[in-house]
Amino acid sequence: MYIRIADGFYMVAGGDAGPGISCFKDCNVYLLDDGGEAILFDAGSGIDSQWIFRNMEETGVPAEHLKYLFVTHCHGDHTGGLWEFQEKFPHCKVVAAPGERRLIEEGTEFELGLTAAKIKGAYPADYVFHHGHVDIEAQDGQEYYAGGMVITPIITPGHSIESTCYLVCWRGRRMLFSGDSVYKNGVLSLQNCYGSSLEDYRNYLPKLAGLNVDALIPSHFGMALTEGQKHVDKALAYLKSSALPPMV
Ligand SMILES: [Zn+2]
């Protein structure tokens, strides 16, 4: 099962905090395909990657189109399945920020926030994180190209050490794949675990000011396909106030 958002633009995973089209723990995984080249955002939890692969197949996007898999951050629901994507699609290059790369490749459960997340009950106690590897270190502001898409990483520490948003300009539209950095209605995701910092949020989220994005497409909950910047700007306004911002 998958969701077609627009021509060549699909959601192929999303668990309990999404549309429920894959394993309960998966973040939303997006597949964009244009002009014979395709990209993915994130890889899900690894609890049942085969389910995501079936969804991808159903879209009809040929596997050989896959050029880049952009990682928003290291947390298990986003990269626990990365190693399986790399086995299945070895030609697809994984892109992640340097700080996230280290954690994806060799982070401990503590550093991945998993110890605290298991205590919260957010992961099954027997969940095991399998390390993937990163082919390309995302540089802030560097452009990547796939078909008619231009993809630009914007590194915004706060939710995690180097959580990364990706600006995608495609068909005259500007879309921000914001990971867990900012959700609809300006909701943030500060966590009580290694790598998450409200001070970093204050320092780095303002990099998203003035992007004029049409769409805000986070890794959980709802997306805003129009007036996306309005939701980002709400978060930036919250971060200026001494009151704690709305968080999940
Ligand atoms: Zn996260």
Instruction: Report CA(91)–ligand 1 centroid distance (Å).
Output: 26
Q: Range of 227's domain?
A: 3-238
Helix (H, G, I), strand (E, B) or coil at 149: strand
Instruction: Report CA(155)–ligand 1 centroid distance (Å).
Output: 14
Q: What is the dihedral of CA 150, 77, 24, 32, to 10 degrees?
A: 10
The pLDDT of residue 240 is 97
197 contact partners, CB below 8 Å, separation of at least 6: 157, 158, 190
Q: pTM of the prediction?
A: 0.97
What are the mean pLDDT values of the chain's consecutive 10-residue runs (248 residues total)? 98 97 98 98 98 98 98 98 98 98 98 96 96 97 98 98 98 98 98 96 98 98 97 98 94
Tell which residue, 45, 60, 48, 72, has the closest CA to residue 2: 60
Instruction: Report CA(35)–ligand 1 centroid distance (Å).
Output: 31
The pLDDT of residue 85 is 98
pLDDT tens by residue, 182-224: 999 999 999 999 999 999 999 999 999 999 999 999 999 999 9
Residue 188 domain flag: yes
Q: Token pair for residue 93? A: 């290059």
The pLDDT of residue 34 is 98
199 contact partners, CB below 8 Å, separation of at least 6: none
Answer whether 172's CB lies under 8 Å from 183's CB: no
Residue 60 domain flag: yes
Task: Compute the distance between CA of residue 222 and CA of residue 140 in angstroms, rounded to an integer.
Answer: 26
Residue 146 domain flag: yes
183 contact partners, CB below 8 Å, separation of at least 6: 189, 218, 220, 221, 222, 231, 248
Question: What is the CATH classification number for the domain harbouring 31?
Answer: 3.60.15.10
Instruction: Report CA(112)–ligand 1 centroid distance (Å).
Output: 9
Residues paired with residue 75 on neighbouring β-strands, in sequence order: none
Report phi then psi at 167, rounded to 5: -90, 125
Answer whether 120's CB lies under 8 Å from 127's CB: no
The pLDDT of residue 107 is 97
Tell which residue, 13, 184, 204, 209, has the closest CA to residue 97: 204
Residue 246 domain flag: no
Instruction: Report CA(75)–ligand 1 centroid distance (Å).
Output: 5
Instruction: Report CA(51)–ligand 1 centroid distance (Å).
Output: 21
- For the four alpha carbons of 228, 234, 235 and 240, in that order, the dihedral sign comes to positive
The pLDDT of residue 72 is 98
Residue 34 domain flag: yes
Residue 244 domain flag: no
Considering its fold, how many domains does the chain have in total?
Answer: 1
Report phi then psi at 246, rounded to 5: -65, 135
123-146 burial: b if 16+ Cβ within 10 Å, else e: beeebebeebebeeebeeeeebeb
| Count of CB atoms situated within 10 Å of the CB of 198 | 14
Residue 121 domain flag: yes
The pLDDT of residue 111 is 97
Tell which residue, 143, 214, 209, 218, has the closest CA to residue 173: 214
